[in-house]
Amino acid sequence: QSALTQPASVSGSLGQSITISCTGTSSDVGVYNYVSWYQQHPGKAPKLMIYDIRSRPSGVSNRFSGSKSGSTASLTISGLQAEDEADYYCASYTTTTTVFGGGTKLTVL
C-alpha cells in the first residue's frame, strides 16, 4: 500500500487561507470516507485535527476544515496564525491498513 501524496510544503501569510491536498487511489481515499488530518509541531506527537473527511474533534478551531473530491482529500486552514506553522499529515482507511501521507510543511509568512 503506497503512501498518500501530499505537497512537500505550502506557505501562506498571516490571516490568509491555505489548502493542503492529499491524493490517494480508488483503494483508499477514493472509496472510503475515513480520512483524518494531523498537525505535528517539532518534537511533539501528532494531534488529530479532522476525522471522517470533515468532522472536527472537540477543542479544534473551526478555522480548520476538511473536504474530499474523488480520490483527493483536502485540509483548509483559514485565518492563518503563527501557531499553525507545523507539519500536517493525512491518513486514510484501506481494507488492510491505515495509510498516511508523506506530510506537508506549512510555513506561515
Partner 1 sequence: QVQLQESGPGLVKPSGTLSLTCAVSGGSISSSNWWSWVRQPPGKGLEWIGEIYHSGSTNYNPSLKSRVTISVDKSKNQLSLNLTSVTAADTAVYYCARGDRFPINPTFDYWGQGTLVTVSS
Binding interface with partner 1 (CB under 8 A): 1, 3, 34-36, 38, 45-48, 51-52, 57, 89, 91-103
Note whether 98 and 2 are within 8 A (CB). no
CB of 59 to partner 1, least distance (A): 11
CB of 105 to partner 1, least distance (A): 11
β-bridge partners, 57: none
Nearer residue to partner 1 within complex by CB, 29 or 108 = 29
Nearer residue to partner 1 within complex by CB, 91 or 108 = 91
Q: What are phi and psi of 38, to 5 degrees?
A: -125, 145
β-bridge partners, 103: none
Provide the edge-to-edge strand list for the sheet that holds 64-69.
18-23, 72-77, 64-69
Residue 99 backbone class (left: φ over 0; alpha: ψ -120 to 50; beta: rest):
beta
CB of 75 to partner 1, least distance (A): 14
CB of 28 to partner 1, least distance (A): 10
Nearer residue to partner 1 within complex by CB, 21 or 93 = 93
